């Protein structure tokens, strides 16, 4: 187990975020950490971080490499605080949030469409390249995601200048779990008024407005659902289906399994993650026994397939990745994650 520590810069001494990030990136302890985590399958323990120092150290390793970082906070609240800090340090596109699908973590009665959207954004991003920090927590990792290969085959692509059969689009959108409404205001909705199709994909933070001239796509724009004002013109869109109901269990995988090989996992207490996943499993089993025909179709589909991640599977999934521990793991965890450590 390699251990890295050192006296890092004080936040109060520098007001410019970019300059401060550069100071962190050049600090000997951060340089040592960055070099260590570039090696495959290592275990590193870092200590001595207080306040926002953790966010700056994490940001330094992300901005200085081309790898993906998965940071596992111990709660949704902790994840939200770190997300806010990182968004003030790194470009927006380099920081992603991976939440659970529900209104409240480990309370499985109401799904949250916005969080379903955020989950699909992460899956879509992992099919590309470039460095990114993904911030998450145990309850979010408990739910499997659609494999990128299956998701790519299930998307609809619409482009300016191409023909579009509105009746066919309606049929496909309904099959994909979309609801037809008068106005769209959340992911999974669409409306049609004359030659205008508004739809809110599960894979974008803003809805699309597609204008037709006869049966040809004339323009595509994103728009603000509150003001109805256009935001940006684009030439092509991909419509992502509802990830909770569209796919079978055998088409879903743990998020860990779609991480790039060089991804680095940051975690404070691995045993806490395992314990929390076990708690989620027990709660899900209890809730599954109470689901009736009156419950929302999305919930019935999700629990029918039991598309969840078991604690034992997580151990197998993370073994091949480099891990940064914010607290020294106990002997039992060290034995489970038996990969050569940094000297």
Structure tokens given for 11:
């936040």
pLDDT 10s digits, 306-335: 678 888 889 989 988 999 999 888 888 878
- Hey, how many other C-beta atoms are within 10 angstroms of the C-beta on 292? 6
* Single residue among 179, 208, 239 that ends a domain in this structure: 239
Domain-embedded: residue 343: no
Strand-pair category, 252-253 with 264-267 = unpaired
Pair 10, 144 in one domain: yes
Could you tell me the CATH number of the domain that includes residue 201? 3.30.2060.10
Pair 93, 14 in one domain: yes
Strand-pair category, 322-325 with 43-46 = parallel
Q: Please state, in angstroms and rounded to a whole number, the distance separating the CA atoms of residues 169 and 149.
A: 22
Sorted by sequence, the CB contacts under 8 Å of residue 167 that are 6+ apart come out as none
Pair 123, 10 in one domain: yes
Residue 281: its pLDDT value, please? 87
pLDDT 10s digits, 166-216: 898 898 888 888 899 999 998 889 999 989 999 998 777 899 999 999 999
| Tokens 């081309």 found at | 66
Q: Please state, in angstroms and rounded to a whole number, the distance separating the CA atoms of residues 295 and 78.
A: 31
Pair 29, 126 in one domain: yes
Domain-embedded: residue 68: yes
Residue 19: its pLDDT value, please? 82
Strand 2-4's sheet: what is its strand order? 2-4, 43-46, 322-325, 264-267, 68-72, 132-136, 95-97
Burial 115-145 (b: 16+ CB within 10 A, else e): bbbbbbbbbbbbeeeeebbbbbbbbbbbbbb
Pair 136, 277 in one domain: yes
Strand-pair category, 189-193 with 179-180 = parallel
- Hey, how many other C-beta atoms are within 10 angstroms of the C-beta on 213? 9
Pair 91, 51 in one domain: yes
* Single residue among 173, 204, 239 that ends a domain in this structure: 239
pLDDT 10s digits, 237-272: 888 777 666 677 778 899 999 999 889 999 999 999
Q: What is the pTM of this model?
A: 0.80
Domain-embedded: residue 251: no
Q: Where would I find the beta strands (DSSP E) of the chain?
A: 2-4, 43-46, 68-72, 95-97, 102-104, 107-111, 132-136, 145-146, 156-159, 179-180, 189-193, 196-199, 208-213, 216-223, 230-234, 236-239, 252-253, 264-267, 322-325
- Comparing 224 with 16, the larger pLDDT belongs to 224
Q: Where does residue 212 rank: exposed (0-12), middle (13-18), buried (19+ CB within 10 A)? A: middle
Helix axes 53-63, 17-26, angle to 10 degrees: 80
Q: Where does residue 105 rank: exposed (0-12), middle (13-18), buried (19+ CB within 10 A)? A: buried
CA 331 centroid distance within chain: 30
Domain-embedded: residue 341: no
Q: Please state, in angstroms and rounded to a whole number, the distance separating the CA atoms of residues 58 and 190.
A: 39
* Single residue among 177, 209, 239 that ends a domain in this structure: 239
Pair 115, 133 in one domain: yes
CA 18 centroid distance within chain: 25
Domain-embedded: residue 6: yes
Residue 294: its pLDDT value, please? 46
Could you tell me the CATH number of the domain that includes residue 269? 3.40.50.300
User: Which domain covers residue 218, as residue numbers?
Assistant: 155-239
């Amino acid at each position: 187990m390699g251990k890295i520590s050192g006296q890092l810069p004080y936040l109060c001494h520098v007001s410019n975020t970019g300059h401060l990030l550069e100071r962190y990136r050049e600090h000997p302890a951060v340089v040592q950490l960055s070099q260590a985590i570039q090696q495959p399958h290592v275990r590193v323990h870092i200590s001595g971080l207080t306040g926002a120092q953790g966010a700056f150290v994490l940001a330094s390793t992300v901005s200085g490499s081309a790898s993906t970082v998965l940071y596992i906070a111990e709660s949704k609240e902790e994840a939200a605080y770190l997300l806010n800090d990182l968004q003030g340090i790194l470009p927006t596109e380099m920081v992603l949030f991976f939440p659970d699908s529900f209104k409240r973590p480990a309370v499985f009665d109401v799904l949250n469409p916005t969080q379903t959207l955020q989950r699909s954004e992460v899956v879509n991003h992992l099919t590309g390249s470039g460095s990114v920090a993904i911030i998450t927590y145990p309850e979010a990792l408990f739910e499997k995601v659609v494999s990128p290969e299956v998701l790519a085959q299930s998307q609809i692509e619409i482009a300016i200048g191409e023909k579009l059969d509105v009746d066919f689009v309606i049929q496909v959108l309904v099959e994909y779990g979309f609801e037809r409404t008068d106005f769209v205001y959340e992911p999974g909705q669409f409306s049609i008024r004359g030659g205008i199709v508004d739809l809110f994909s599960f894979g974008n933070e803003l809805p699309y407005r597609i204008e037709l001239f006869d049966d040809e796509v004339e323009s595509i724009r994103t728009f603000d659902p509150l003001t109805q004002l256009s935001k940006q013109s684009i030439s092509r869109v991909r419509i992502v289906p509802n990830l909770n109901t569209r796919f079978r269990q055998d088409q879903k995988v743990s998020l860990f399994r779609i991480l790039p090989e060089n991804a680095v996992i940051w975690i404070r207490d691995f045993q806490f993650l395992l314990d929390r996943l076990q708690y989620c499993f027990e709660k899900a089993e209890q809730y599954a026994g109470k689901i009736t025909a009156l419950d929302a179709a999305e919930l019935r589909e999700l629990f029918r397939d039991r598309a969840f991640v078991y604690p034992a599977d997580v151990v197998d999934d993370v073994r091949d990745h480099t891990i940064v521990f914010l607290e020294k793991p106990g002997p039992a965890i060290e034995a489970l994650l038996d990969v050569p450590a940094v000297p």
